[in-house]
Structure formats: C-alpha cells, structure tokens
Amino acid sequence: MNNVYTVQCIECNYIFGDFEDEFGKCPECGVQQPASGSWASKELEQIEILTASGKVSEAVDLAMELLYKSVDVEYGDWPFAHNLTNMIRELCEKENLTSQISQLDALWKLIEANQMGGDRERTVAYEKWRNSQ
C-alpha cells in the first residue's frame, strides 16, 4: 500500500493539486494559507539564540525536533523541511557534530524510502526509529 501525500487547506481541507500554490489563498474558501515555516517562528528565534550563545548542539537538537514535525505525513511542510535540513547540516559541519549529522542522514534515508513508495512496514520502521531518537 502506497502512502498518498496531499496538501490541504487549513480551513476547509480542500486538497491542492500538483500545481496549486498551497501557501496562497485557497480557491475553495479563500482563506490565506500560512507561509512555509511560519508555524515555527518562536522555535527559529530560539535556535538563533542558542547558536549565538555557543550552544550549537542544543540548537541542532531543537532544529531536529522541528524537522520531525515538518516531515509529518499529515502536517508536513516540505519547503521548510529542506531549509531546516540545510541549516542543520551547516551547523553540524561547522561544529563537527558527527552524531547529529548521522542522525540527519538516517532520517533523510527513511524519508526518501517512504517517498519512493513506502509501504506500511517502512512507515512503522520510520516511526519506531523516530521514537528511539
């Protein structure tokens, strides 16, 4: 069984098609959809504060929590996920945080497997791995 990923309106659950702007106005109800990543503005500020104060490992941990939320099957925010991934990778490489970069790489391998036709077994494996982290 393949998972179907859709983007839905926050108000009326209208399903956006492949070419719709899910961050624009819903053509069904007219509600403005939130900008990618806008739901995590407080956490992003905290990440900046932690990074500026030299607590990069803690900043990466918080960014990883956001990344898990941004790739959630139901509430995913893929543009934000890609931005977070780039930020996490840069911080990890700059500070030589090898275990956290390994965690990021493992997460993306699971995500890619799911996107390439992940079945229920892969989804369960992903959730089990995610809960162990």
pLDDT score, position 2: 43
Which H helix or E strand runs over 50?
helix 41-52
Q: List, for residues 81-114, the tens digit of each pLDDT value.
A: 889 999 999 999 999 999 999 999 888 877 776 6
The C-alpha atoms of residue 118 and residue 2 are separated, in whole angstroms, by: 6
8-state DSSP, 35: P
Q: In the numeric block, which tokens belong to residue 55? A: 């607590």
pLDDT 10s per residue in the chain (133 long)? Answer: 344 556 778 889 888 775 556 678 888 999 988 888 998 999 999 999 999 999 999 999 999 999 988 887 666 788 898 899 999 999 999 999 999 999 998 888 777 766 655 566 766 666 676 677 6
Angle between helices 98-115 and 78-95 (to 10 degrees): 150
Q: What is the pTM of this model?
A: 0.71
CB 46 within 8 A of CB 62: yes
